[in-house]
Structure 1
Amino acid sequence: MRTRIEDGAFSHKAGTRTGVMVNGGGAQGKTETVCEAVAAFEDEWLALHQQINPDAMPGTRDLHAPVAYVRCPVKATPISTCQRILDFYGEDYKGMRLEDLVRTVNAAIIDHATKALVIDDITRLKLHREADQDVLDLIREMMSMPVTLILVGVGIPTSALLRDGRRDPVTKQWVFPPVRDRGRSPNAHAATQHERRFELIDLDPFGYDTPEQIAAWTAHLRGLEDCLRLLNDPDGMLTAGDMPEYLFRRTNGVVGLLEKLIQTGCRHAIEAKAEHLTIDLLQRCTVSPTDLPDLDAESGEQPCIPEVPASKKRKRPGRNSVFDDAGPAAGIAGSA
């Protein structure tokens, strides 16, 4: 992603810039990962130009915004999408028609020297509505602007944004079959426009099958453990014993669910004055869809939340009855 942004930022040609589509499950950390990458690019770009817009018109002082971030509306239209982008820049768009909005978006991107435009939750476009198809056409038109588009969504390969493809297990790239000449569409190659203009990358959840996957999951838990501020938080609170495996079973390796579970557990630990996380304490903590209110369930953004595993009940040892006295009644019954 950084490579695509930098290639587009240093290019002065008027051609279409190759974008990036980031695909992954709900609460998988796609937004955080993308924002971390574009924030690092923004810091380097601002330092390179001494915090000043290198393309600003003499005598003016424009806001220098190398990176812009917006979220796709739940029921998007070209007008609402343009308004979301202009809201980021603080532009006034009252009374503007669609043509004026598109022109203002183009001017805002150029005036603020924006090199990367992130559109999150792009799979809210279902494309069974005419308005959604118009938004997709608008995004295609934005690619002619001097900015690199980064689209983030859930289930992009299975959405109508791209044709169905397969993931190459060796190169980890998505491969799309050639377009057949026969079909009802008068332009059979129109479906390939986004495939040729975007590189699709996946952000998978953590695994727990191989030593490498377990090491990566444990390293993530160690980093999370260092951020906790509980009073009784010795090293290994999240990484020792059965805790890594337990946390994986509770979250399926989804970082968003892990964050909510640890957050809830810390709250219980503070209220109980334990100031320490244990499996028994986390057994009393649950994560529900209401803990993820910013994710649209209809768009598949909410992940599947595993059920709380049943606690293993300890089997009480049997009582030793060797020295029990059966009493006189037992002796009378035996003699009879």
Structure 2
Amino acid sequence: MTSGDTAPFVLPGPSPARETLAGWQHWRLTRRSFVPAPAMDLAAWRLLSPKKKTLHDLHRAATHANLPLLTTPMSRSVERLLNGRIESNALKLKPATRAGVMVSGGGYQGKTESVCEVTAAFEDRWLALHQHLNPDAAPGCRDLHAPVAYVQTPVTAKPKSTCKAILNFYDTPVSARMDLPELIHQVAASLRDHGTKVLILDDITRLRMHRADDQDTLDLIRAFMSMHVTLVLIGVDIPGSGLLREGRHDAATGQWHLPASRHAKIHGLEATQTERRFDLVELDRFRYDTAPQIAAWLQHLCGVQAGLRLLDAPENMLTTGTMPEYLFQRTNGVVGLLERLIEDGCREAIATGLERLTEGLLEDLSIDLSHAPHRDPAAGEIPDVPTNRTARGTRRGRNTVFDDRGPAAAGAS
């Protein structure tokens, strides 16, 4: 690249709030619009004017702060199940209760982003199929078409506050005098009038099953499955949270069956008291014990490095030597922690002029999640972070699965 080839760069605006219809639509339409800084080597950068150097460095910082969402073997399994369930339910014509999906996993493992990406892609296809019009709109009405609704579970969830959180997504007026049956009826009307096919409830494991209000809230959530939407629940360690304690596992289908909701008839849509079925899928972290697991980790690191814009980064900077194991030890294979460490490392590499990532540079950086916004530590939304001050003599021995031991070793076997 020549010195005059810097790309025009506009600072990103504020992050859209996906908890509102306008914010969700803005995020969906712009989620792939960020243009990363062009790749440039150190010699070309030195030829830039001081102003262009500053702008290019700012663009590089923005690039490292907005690394693309990479597909992993774990996210592919979530995508297959979620896509199949959503599309199957959206095409159903009979008034049967739609099976839901629970996406479980640890904090910072990409559950929310993976689900949002899958559902946003579904919305893109659904809108194109119907020319961006609501096929179920009432005659004479032009309600906004919202195939997907994204809602965060309130930290102290109650049935009323959960209904209000859903109605806030649609910017539906809510009166303080509305009782719970009226709120549930309004939720059903909003889902129907906006043509919503998927209702996402994030951070569902903020519910504590020892609290009566939270038990009532979970019971209410099961009632939403009668509203002809695919209910997608996202949470940390759902099997261990108590949300499934009233359910039974069907080994033949792999689904969890939960009892019908006590709220099933309030909104007037439920014809019979039927069980609620959920597919449970785990979005796990990377592992580093077998050859396929190591290969998957290395492939992910290759994808990460392709998005970096350091001026003196060697080829395969993240995938050669002991770096792959070091990065695994620092992050425990959690993609969100890896992204945080790489982002902070790139900023330090630019600030110091090193322009490459090394174990020594990363060893001086700590991953601090103590002030993570919108995260509830009590619900397991912040994972344990491996320390970076481990004594070299106590580090785990290097995995030698891929080592080439040479012809002498081969002949001795």
The question of a shared fold, defined as TM-score above 0.5 by the shorter chain, is answered with yes
Alignment partner of 1:124 out of 187, 198, 206: 206
CA displacement 1:133-175 (0-9 Å, x = unmatched): 110111111010010000011111112211399999xx9x868
TM-score (norm 1): 0.82
Taking the aligned partners of 2:324 and 2:344, their CA distance within structure 1 comes to 17
CA displacement 1:218-246 (0-9 Å, x = unmatched): 11111111222222334312222211111
Alignment partner of 2:120 out of 34, 39, 42: 39
Matched pairs, number = 298
Taking the aligned partners of 1:35 and 1:221, their CA distance within structure 2 comes to 23
Taking the aligned partners of 1:150 and 1:62, their CA distance within structure 2 comes to 23
Taking the aligned partners of 1:283 and 1:167, their CA distance within structure 2 comes to 45
- Quick one: structure 1 residues 281 and 167, their matched pair in 2 at CA, closer, same or farther if it must change by over 3 Å? farther
1:62: how far off?
A: 1.4
- Quick one: structure 1 residues 162 and 212, their matched pair in 2 at CA, closer, same or farther if it must change by over 3 Å? same
Q: CA RMSD in A?
A: 2.7
1:27: how far off?
A: 1.0
Taking the aligned partners of 1:264 and 1:195, their CA distance within structure 2 comes to 48
Alignment partner of 2:159 out of 62, 75, 78: 78
Match of 2:290 in 1: 210
Contact 2:255 2:280 (8 Å CA) reproduced: no
Contact 1:156 1:162 (8 Å CA) reproduced: yes
Higher gyration radius (CA): 1
Aligned pairs for 1:211-226 within 5 A: 211-226=291-306
Taking the aligned partners of 1:255 and 1:194, their CA distance within structure 2 comes to 39
Deviates more, 1:54-63 or 1:98-107: 54-63
Taking the aligned partners of 1:175 and 1:40, their CA distance within structure 2 comes to 25
- Quick one: structure 1 residues 270 and 165, their matched pair in 2 at CA, closer, same or farther if it must change by over 3 Å? farther
Contact 2:312 2:354 (8 Å CA) reproduced: yes
The answer to whether residue 141 in structure 2 is matched with residue 60 in structure 1 is yes
- Quick one: structure 1 residues 233 and 62, their matched pair in 2 at CA, closer, same or farther if it must change by over 3 Å? farther
Q: Which amino acid aligns with 1:120?
A: D
Taking the aligned partners of 1:62 and 1:113, their CA distance within structure 2 comes to 9
Match of 1:100 in 2: 182
**Percent of matched pairs sharing the same residue:** 56
- Quick one: structure 1 residues 143 and 167, their matched pair in 2 at CA, closer, same or farther if it must change by over 3 Å? closer
Contact 1:157 1:165 (8 Å CA) reproduced: no
- Quick one: structure 1 residues 194 and 35, their matched pair in 2 at CA, closer, same or farther if it must change by over 3 Å? farther
Aligned pairs for 1:272-311 within 5 A: 272-290=352-370, 292-310=372-390
- Quick one: structure 1 residues 261 and 291, their matched pair in 2 at CA, closer, same or farther if it must change by over 3 Å? farther
Alignment partner of 2:318 out of 204, 213, 238: 238
Taking the aligned partners of 2:368 and 2:361, their CA distance within structure 1 comes to 17
Q: Which amino acid aligns with 2:212?
A: E
Contact 1:166 1:174 (8 Å CA) reproduced: no
Taking the aligned partners of 1:128 and 1:176, their CA distance within structure 2 comes to 21
Deviates more, 1:251-260 or 1:303-312: 303-312
Match of 1:26 in 2: 107
Match of 2:196 in 1: 114
Match of 1:156 in 2: 238
1:273: how far off?
A: 2.0
Q: Provide structure 2 residue ranges, at least 5 long, that are not aligned to the other structure.
A: 1-81, 260-272, 394-413
- Quick one: structure 1 residues 127 and 49, their matched pair in 2 at CA, closer, same or farther if it must change by over 3 Å? same
